[in-house]
Amino acid sequence: MTDARLTILDTDQTPLANQEVVLEQTQHKFLFGTAAFDLVPLTNGEYAGERKEQAEQRAEKLTALFNAATLPFYWARFEPRRGEPLTEQVKNAAAWCIGHGLVVKGHPLCWHTLTADWLLSMSNAEILKAQIARIERDVSDFRGLIQMWDVINEAVIMPIFDKYDNGITRLCKEMGRIHLIKAMFEAARAENPSAILLINDFDVSPAFDILVEGCLEAGIQIDCIGIQSHMHQGYWGVEETLRVLDQFARFNLPIHFTETTLVSGRLMPPEIVDLNDYQVQEWPTTPDGESRQAEETIQHYKTLFAHPLVEGITWWDLSDGGWLNAPAGLLRKDGSSKPAYDELLKLVKGKWWISPTKLSTDSNGQIRFTGFFGDYALVHAGLRKTFSVTRENAPAIEIYL
């Protein structure tokens, strides 16, 4: 939140004194995002009939609330057969997002889970080459569409992951985490120097903190620290959230909460260590669960939004029935909104948002208002001028009608 002062001038530099104008916000700078994997089939004509209608309704609710979307680049699914990546399909989804005002993030470029199984027949040198080539290709192919990447995912456990053999764990075990991360970041950076590159992890113990420190010591240019918060086993609460923020704030780097989950059904038992081990047929959303979810969601967003370094929160998933079949959505399976969706909308496009508002300029042609960083429009006598409010320009913005 910031205090902004606008000076409105006409084309010959005369202040527009004592006039009525309308101010409205058009975009948050803060990234309110969601996993949006569903947009790939939707934008590629893979849905028909009722399923298509439902997907379109979900997409409408997505754009009504969010200004950012995470699209899937899991290697195993993105390029199931070597040399046949789903580039065009994901490009269609990315372009749709851009057209709907959504900032797109690609997730992830390097991860041991869901990596290509055709790496398994390779030597580590070949795996490294293939992994780097994959990054170069995808970051280059999506330049302009995707300017934000989860470059590395879950590096803390990467070399010790023991659920199944995979090429990336092998490679990380040989190279060490930091050398591997460095190679991945350098490959991505070279293809798109202006992209925002993240290191992303679910580990919020000192291990991830220390890894970030080591990466920075090794000269890796991390643009943003990505923190997952899959709270299937219960909301962290404000205190733990602040502890996590405090742990990473010392790097003075932007922080994204990249994968935020709060379920609206029963909680996953606390003894589950790897969430993927919890496989259930049915995991219904419940009225009690939905009100708990709404309350905790609002608390979590308020806590994070208030922190000066947090620049984005991504919800995971938009609808029930996604990962783990969890009732983790803001929407039910039938597409209807849960209270968490409604409450979040009231914040993001209500309390934290400036809807069209009539204001009068003073004798110097100035108006003052308090709002959040983002894009705005000013309307006067049929003229509409857009401008951004940033940390830098907020105290003195000039608008020429």
Binding footprint of its own copies on the chain (CB under 8 A): 156-157, 160, 173, 176-178, 205-207, 210-211, 213-215, 217-218, 247, 250
- Rounded to a whole number of angstroms, the minimum distance from the CB of residue 375 to its own copies is 36
Nearer to its own copies among residue 64 and residue 210 (C-beta) = 210
- Rounded to a whole number of angstroms, the minimum distance from the CB of residue 238 to its own copies is 17
- Rounded to a whole number of angstroms, the minimum distance from the CB of residue 179 to its own copies is 8
- Rounded to a whole number of angstroms, the minimum distance from the CB of residue 16 to its own copies is 50
Nearer to its own copies among residue 176 and residue 308 (C-beta) = 176
Nearer to its own copies among residue 116 and residue 157 (C-beta) = 157
- Rounded to a whole number of angstroms, the minimum distance from the CB of residue 384 to its own copies is 48
Nearer to its own copies among residue 17 and residue 210 (C-beta) = 210
d(CA 97, CA 118): 31
Nearer to its own copies among residue 151 and residue 196 (C-beta) = 151
Nearer to its own copies among residue 132 and residue 204 (C-beta) = 204
- Rounded to a whole number of angstroms, the minimum distance from the CB of residue 108 to its own copies is 19
